[in-house]
Structure 1
Amino acid sequence: MTFLQGLDLTAVFIFGLTGALAASRAQLDIVGFVFLACLTAVGGGTLRDVVMGRDTVFWVAEPLMILSATAAAVLVFFTAHLLESRLRALEWLDALALAVAVPAGVGLALSMNAPWVVVAIMGVATGTFGGLMRDVVCNELPLILKKGELYATAALIGAVVALTGVALGLSSSLALLVCGLSTFALRAGSLLFGWCLPVYRSRPPRH
């Protein structure tokens, strides 16, 4: 298994946990758990692979990805009741998954010699699209759209950090490591300290 495949597998498992936690909050059956876990786990990577024109989508080429997401669903089905706050656990696991999936997207785009703008977009898409699909299916406001939260912003800055590292001569592996750490630090800061972007506030028109 290559380094990038390892990143994909790790992201799939952790995102699968978040999908299953969302299913537990919606009180679904085991099939619902598996569906939401798999949807969340492979959504971002599937979008990335289709847009980048890969011959085979990553989870089709390596079915272990789907099995990993399924295992995550079963694990959460039998243990979710032990958590004090499933929403808080979901948010932190999602932050961890984001920090793995963004480097996976960036790494693949770099390996295909994509332009820097595309590399950044693929990092954000890989990290956020699965969670977006999960939240939409569960009729929740997607994390990516919550007021001011550093979510897509954390993913974008992480991708830019990786691009900067490569431009400065870092190895791709080290650049992706710094990318993941930067992404997680920003997302964790948003969860712990309320770091956020300014939001639009309507004002009465001036006469």
Structure 2
Amino acid sequence: MPITSYAELDNQFQCVKKMLSLKVNLDADDHRIIQKILHVGNSAERWRVPPPTIRPKCSCRSLANDFVKIKNLHSAILAAPAEIAPQLLAAFGQTLCSIPYQTAPLLVVSIAQARVKMAEGCHKVAKEHGITDELVQCGLELSAVMGPSVKGVADGQTCKTIADALEILHSAPRLALEMLTVKGPAVDCRRKRGRAKR
């Protein structure tokens, strides 16, 4: 997914920051491995994002390893020379947004959830990651319902407008969205605004 402006880049990184806020214990070996991977000169073309952990013995450990790689890579990019940092950040964002679901399911679901919570379209996100499982797609849409749609409801938008904007296509998440407009934190917020205007 090409990033054509700094605004788009910033939008991508808001969701990445949510992921990177996870507290992951790093040991000396993790640091050494990542530094070897990232030890390059000034050529942005030679930087490579470490691949996700494939066929792990323990899925939870695999996810932790993948987050360690992402966290370290992000830190290394921020410490890179100023003239190449924007290109590296753009490549980083693009790579995270294109990791296939089949390669690292747990990692991709975490990334996809973070993206839809930042108001990216659920269908677009699922398509870019190759997520075809309807249960996982529904989970992403429910994440969108509990995330950006709350603000939409508080702002007085209709269910259809919100569902179309966030690409919520399945019936269960749409029902959850309708319930949110009837009773939920966004409705309370809207009521308070109404009282304040009186």
Give the TM-score of the pair, scaled to structure 2.
0.30
Give the TM-score of the pair, scaled to structure 1.
0.29
**Counting helix residues as a fraction of each chain, which structure ranks higher?**
1
